Amino acid sequence: MIVEDAITLLSVQDLTASVDGTQILKGVNLEVKSGEIHAIMGPNGSGKSTFSKILAGHPDYTVTGGTITFKGQNLLDWEPEIRAREGLFLAFQYPLEIPGVTNSEFLRISCNAVRKHRGLPELDLLDFGDLINEKLKVVDMNPSFLQRSVNEGFSGGEKKRNEIVQMAVMEPVLSILDETDSGLDIDALKIVSQGVNQLSNAHNATIVITHYQRLLNYIVPDFIHVMEGGKIILTGGKELALELESRGYDWLTEE
Amino acid sequence: MTSEVKQLLKALQQRAEATIPRLVFPNTKQEEWKYTDPSALQSIRWQTALPQFESTVTPIPEAEFALVFANGTFIPDRSVVEPGELLVLGSVLTDNSSASLLSAHLGKYTDDWDMLSQINSSSCEDLSLIYVPQNYADGTIVALHYLNQGQHSASHPRCLVVLAPHSRLTIVEVHQGNEDVYWANPLTEIYVGEQAVLNHIIWQHQGLSAFHTQTTRVVQAKNSFYQLQTIDVGAQLSRHNLHVQLQGDATSTTLQGLVTIGANQTSDTYSTIVHSHPSGRSNQLHKCILRDHSHGVFSGQICVTKQGQLTDAQQMSRNLLLSPHARIDTKPQLQIVADNVKCAHGATVSQLDREEQFYLQSRGIDPVTATNLLTYAFAGEILQNIPIASVREAIVKLIFAQTIV
Ligand SMILES: Nc1ncnc2c1ncn2[C@@H]1O[C@H](COP(=O)(O)OP(=O)(O)OP(=O)(O)O)[C@@H](O)[C@H]1O
Ligand SMILES: [Mg+2]
């Protein structure tokens, strides 16, 4: 929702970036204010995941130009873990499996790292247990997943749910959901979308990256951006999704 | 009187003393010592260690029996021995009933051509003995605490473990010490009788200046089960000579080794399993976590003789290098004569996965904790099998505390 007196959470200007010497982002501009929901769409390989990983601080990508300001500060000054603790969250398109680390341990360490940074007392096993049971409800996830290794053997959809559990635990101010909808069945899509909606409020913001208009029926965006060739080439309202759905992307570059 | 016991020990010593002059001290020209240079051991004038100790014993509350040795000498008033069916002796000199066990087993399973075992035998004035009678299967845990200290002191503790048929036992050896340059050269002989089950844990946590050379000789009778977990953390140089010999059909052997070292430490595991009877199953997993300039060595022999038909032997060596200066030498060796067997072996060397590290960091976890978590995850497969909770937790803590920079 667009709210009055919203503060600018993220401001990206003329961002260019490369990986292994290949220029991928070629001047991205984006401004996200608190309370807003943005969607980024665009053809395969246009740079959406690259953009999100750069925001999260992935070491493989080199920012070659432009600025990223997060909550008024230079995001690029911060290591990935500081970005996360400051409230930037990325739900990965392909969440990793970490055999040998239990989900509950992982979530608790993550939760306490964030809490410590924010000046909140760390939670012991018992208090964390209470908290996590609440958070699991956000996406209706079975507590038995806590005892399993992080994402190991999880189905595609279960991994995506697990990402949202992490998001719920970390209470971010800016969440970037990279194709969280892909791999979810019809019911799960509803549940996860409701979870995301439940977590959004006037003080935080969400960027959803998706290929499908269907998600945007559940998570209704205030803005839709089209990324193509490492740039945002068009920004519109939620009605743009329907147009893209019927016309594809070609007409945008042909004009 | 204990004279019979003394005579047996004397005979063992004399036999070793007669053999030693015919042996050469281990050196890198020998195939078995190709990757680890033990010459430092020879350059020090070792003195017989006095039974002194300062270190505190790592408590293992689950253990009903705890034998404490200071530089190899049994310390009765620090030990806990419950009288009962189980024979647990810190010193065989105190009990003449041990004579028949000694004459049946002592020195029978060692390798006469191995210098380190012979050095142990030659200085064997006493030993500890654990005998589990037939059908005794109470889930009893016996802890052996070896405390070491003393600049240039050497100790050669010896232990004999005999499980009668259908019995069951868990033993845990803890080797620890201070920062002195000392040498511990323990030797454990184990006989696992028919249908008996032995869980064995060796936790080597010596001081970082220590030399630790350990020999474990296991003989398994028909249908017996032997499971070993070794955790190697300490010593500047540690070497484990592990030998499992089958004496009957359908045995089961599980060997799991976890090495986690840093600085200039070397840890060398030299293991041999001889499948000389049909239908034996063995499964070996050796994992090294190597930091700084450390050096890990694993040589794993699996021999299947002509009699070893239907053997199923699996061996895997996995290694995690946490530093570009760390080194691993891993050499699996299969010698198979029998034709109807299932044997597989493999080795992997890896570094921490950058993507996994980034994933954890993106969840607010700092890089050091992330590294520790992933390292722990690598070790978890072995740690979670340690059957004694207090030991498992202590080792988990230890691995978490090893921060990597
Ligand atoms: N390490 C790399 N080396 C070279 N090219 C890379 C590397 N990583 C990504 N790319 C390229 O960067 C481009 C953008 O990839 P990115 O994953 O950001 O696309 P995307 O918009 O998320 O696509 P999709 O919709 O398929 O998820 C692709 O052409 C990809 O092949
Ligand atoms: Mg993508």
Say if residues B284 and B316 touch (Cβ distance below 8 Å): yes
**How many residues make up chain A in this entry?**
255
Angle CA B165–B169–B174, to nearest 5: 140
B362 and A57 within 8 Å at the Cβ level: the answer is: yes
User: Measured between beta carbons, which residues in chain B are less than 8 angstroms from residue A175?
Assistant: none
Alpha-carbon span B276 to A202, nearest angstrom: 74
- Residue A183 has what DSSP assignment? T
Q: Is B293 helix (H, G, I), strand (E, B) or coil?
A: coil
Nearest to A63 by CA among A50, A45, A81, A80: A50
Ligand 1 centroid – CA B152 distance (Å) = 61
Which of the ligands is closest to the CA of residue A50?
A: 1
CA of A97: which chain B residue's CA is closest?
A: B356
ipTM reported for the complex, 2 dp: 0.95
Q: Cβ neighbours of residue B401 under 8 Å, at least 6 residues apart?
A: none
A100 and B378 within 8 Å at the Cβ level: the answer is yes
CA nearest to B332, candidates B298, B362, B283, B360: B298
Apex B270 CA angle, B264 and B276, nearest 5: 170
Residue type, B214: Q
Place of tokens 């990402």: A163
Work out the percent of chain B whose per-residue pLDDT is above 70: 99
A3 assigned to some structural domain:
no
Number of independent structural domains in chain A: 1
Residue from B102, B86, B93, B77 nearest B135 by CA = B86
Pairing of strands B252-261, B141-148: unpaired
Report yes or no: B140 and B129 within 8 Å, Cβ to Cβ.
Answer: no
Specify whether the CB–CB gap between B254 and B197 falls below 8 A.
no
Q: What integer pLDDT is reported at residue B2 of this predicted model?
A: 60
Domain borders along chain B are 3-355, 356-405
| Chain centroid, CA A248 distance in Å | 24
| pLDDT at residue A23 is higher than 60 | yes
Q: List A residues 90-129 in contact with B (Cβ-Cβ < 8 A).
A: 90, 92, 95-96, 98-101, 105-106, 109-110, 113-114, 117
10 Å Cβ neighbour count for A62? 14
3-state helix, strand, coil in chain B (%, to 5): 20, 40, 40
The pLDDT value given to residue B405? 41
Residues of B in contact with A95 (CB under 8 A): 359
Q: Work out the widest C-alpha separation in chain B, in whole angstroms.
A: 71
pLDDT digits (tens, 9 = 90+) for B38-60: 999 999 999 988 888 777 888 99
> Residue A27 domain-assigned?
yes
Q: Tell me, what amino acid is at A129? A: G
Is A71 within a domain? yes
CB-CB neighbours of A129 under 10 Å: 14
Q: Is the pLDDT of residue A255 over 60?
A: no
Contact A101 B373 (CB under 8 A): yes
Q: What is the mean pLDDT of chain A?
A: 94
Distance, C-alpha B39 to centroid of its chain = 22
Percent of chain A with pLDDT over 90: 88
Q: How many CB atoms lie within 10 A of CB A187?
A: 10
Question: Distance between CA B37 and CA B400 in Å, rounded?
Answer: 30
Q: How far is B257 from chain A (nearest CA, A)?
A: 17
CATH number at residue A62: 3.40.50.300
Does A1 fall in a domain? no
CB contact B363 to A (< 8 Å): yes
**Domain for residue A132, yes or no?**
yes
For residue B359, give the H/E element and its range: helix B354-361
Q: 3-state DSSP call for residue B4?
A: helix
Could you list the residue range(s) of the whole structural domain that residue A106 is in?
8-254
Spatial separation of the C-alpha atoms in residues B270 and B240, rounded to whole Å: 6
CA B30 to chain centre: 22
How far is ligand 1, taken at its centre, from the CA of residue A204, in Å?
28
Q: Which two tokens stand for residue A52?
A: 């999100």
Q: What are the φ and ψ backbone dihedral angles of B187, each rounded to 5 degrees?
A: -135, 130
Which strands, in side-by-side order, build the sheet including B73-74? B73-74, B65-70, B141-148, B168-177, B197-205, B225-232, B252-261, B281-290, B312-321, B342-350
- The C-alpha angle with vertex A32 and arms to A29 and A33, in degrees rounded to 5, equals 145
d(CA B270, CA B331): 10
Buried b (16+ CB within 10 A) or exposed e, B366-376: bbebbbbbbbb
CA-nearest of B148, B150, B152 to B72 is: B148
Q: Which two tokens stand for residue B184?
A: 């511990």
pLDDT digits (tens, 9 = 90+) for B184-196: 999 999 999 999 9
What confidence score (pLDDT) does residue A2 get?
79
Q: Could B366 and A113 be called an inter-chain contact, meaning their C-beta atoms sit closer than 8 Å?
A: yes
For every one of its 405 residues, what pLDDT tens digit does chain B have, with 9 covering 90 and above?
468 999 999 999 999 999 999 999 999 999 999 999 999 999 999 998 888 877 788 899 999 999 999 999 999 999 999 888 899 999 999 888 899 999 999 999 999 899 999 999 999 999 999 999 999 998 999 999 999 999 999 999 999 999 999 999 999 999 999 999 999 999 999 999 999 999 999 999 999 999 999 999 999 999 999 999 999 999 999 999 999 999 999 999 999 999 999 999 999 999 999 999 999 999 999 999 999 999 999 999 999 999 999 999 999 999 999 999 999 999 989 999 998 999 999 999 999 999 999 999 999 999 999 998 999 889 988 998 999 999 999 998 888 776 554
DSSP class of A78? S
Let me know: does B292 contact B327? Beta carbons within 8 Å: no
List the one residue out of B126, B138, B201 whose CA is nearest residue B168.
Answer: B138
Smallest CA–CA separation between A250 and chain B, in Å?
A: 34
